[in-house]
């Protein structure tokens, strides 16, 4: 009887230890998990889907930025009560300013996405937006499955209350896509980051 007890106690301890290691391993794995898997660039030879001279621009449904692993659904949003562009409720989606230009139309289409950590430690879709460089590609997929390509031209920082006329409109006859997120330091009182980051891109 005593031997049996001793054996079962050891097994029990091993089991617990094994379980703990397993749990730890899982935690380590999920902590370092990438938010999205590698996104393959759309095949350049699929002529029917790649952007061409489209006269009727459709509604955007997905934003893909392979360089920083972004593949996000696009919500259509407008203004907050205070007159600022609204933002998506969660960390994964991006928001297109639907009162303005459609991506691909002449003018400046604007898409915003969150930056920073959420309750469960999860990151936001535009956490790596600041890593984009001139020449990087952005892809908009519309509701008909067509892809429109944009090329990053520059990035700029703004105060949260800055006049954003150059972000929301343009004077040339071209199509632009501007991405907005936050950066800087979190201001607890304002419940806001200290800066806004805007990536300016032009239709290819």
Partner 1 sequence: MQKLNRFLIVTVAMVLMFGLTESVKAATQVPLLTAGNFAVLGGSTVTNTGSSVLTGDLGVSAGSAITGFPPGTTSGTTHSNDAVAIQAQVDLTAAYINASGQACDHNLTGQDLGGKILTPGVYCFDSSAQLTGTLTLDGGGDLNAVFIFKMGSTLTTASGSKVSLINSAQSCHVFWQVGSSATLGTTTKFKGNILALTSITLNTGATINNGRALARNGAVTLDSNTITKSTCATSSDELTNGSVNETEVTSSDIKVKKTASDYKLNSGPKKVTFTYKVTNEGDVALSDISVKDDKCDDVKYDSGDSNNDNLLDVTEEWKYECTKKVKKTETNTVTAKGTANGERIKDTDTAKVTVSTPGLPNAGSNPDEADSSLWMQIMSWFSF
Q: Which positions lie near partner 1, rule CB under 8 A? A: 23, 26-27, 30, 78-79, 82-87, 91, 95, 97, 99-101, 107-108, 110, 112-121, 124, 126, 158, 160-165, 167-169, 171, 180-182, 186, 188, 191-193, 196, 198
Residue written as token pair 């999920």: 30
Min. distance of Cβ 28 from partner 1 in angstroms?
A: 11
Min. distance of Cβ 103 from partner 1 in angstroms?
A: 13
Q: H or E stretch including 134?
A: none
Min. distance of Cβ 38 from partner 1 in angstroms?
A: 21
Return the exposure string of 90-113: e unless at least 16 CB atoms fall within 10 Å of the residue's CB, then b: ebbbbbbbbebbbbbbebbbbbbb
Phi, psi dihedral angles at 14 (to 5 degrees): -60, -45
Min. distance of Cβ 37 from partner 1 in angstroms?
A: 16
Q: Cβ closer to partner 1: 41 or 154? A: 154
* Angle 108-114-116 from CA coordinates, rounded to 5°: 145
Q: Cβ closer to partner 1: 45 or 55? A: 55
């Amino acid at each position: 009887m005593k031997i049996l007890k001793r054996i079962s106690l050891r097994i029990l301890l091993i089991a617990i230890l094994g379980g703990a290691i397993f749990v730890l391993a899982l935690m380590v794995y999920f902590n370092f998990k990438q938010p999205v898997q590698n996104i393959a660039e759309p095949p350049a030879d699929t002529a029917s889907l790649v952007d061409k001279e489209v006269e009727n621009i459709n509604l955007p449904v997905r934003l893909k930025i392979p360089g920083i692993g972004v593949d996000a659904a696009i919500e259509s949003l407008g203004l907050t009560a205070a007159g600022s562009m609204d933002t998506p409720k969660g960390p994964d989606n991006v928001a297109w300013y639907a009162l303005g230009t459609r991506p691909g139309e002449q003018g400046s289409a604007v898409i915003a996405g969150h930056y920073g950590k959420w309750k469960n430690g999860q990151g936001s879709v535009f956490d790596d937006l600041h890593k984009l460089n001139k020449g990087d590609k952005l892809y908009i997929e519309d509701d008909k499955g067509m892809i429109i390509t944009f090329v990053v031209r520059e990035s700029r920082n703004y105060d949260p209350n800055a006049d954003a006329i150059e972000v929301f409109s343009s004077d040339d006859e071209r199509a632009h896509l501007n991405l907005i997120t936050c950066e800087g330091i979190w201001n607890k009182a304002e419940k806001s980051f200290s800066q806004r980051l805007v990536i300016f891109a032009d239709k290819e």
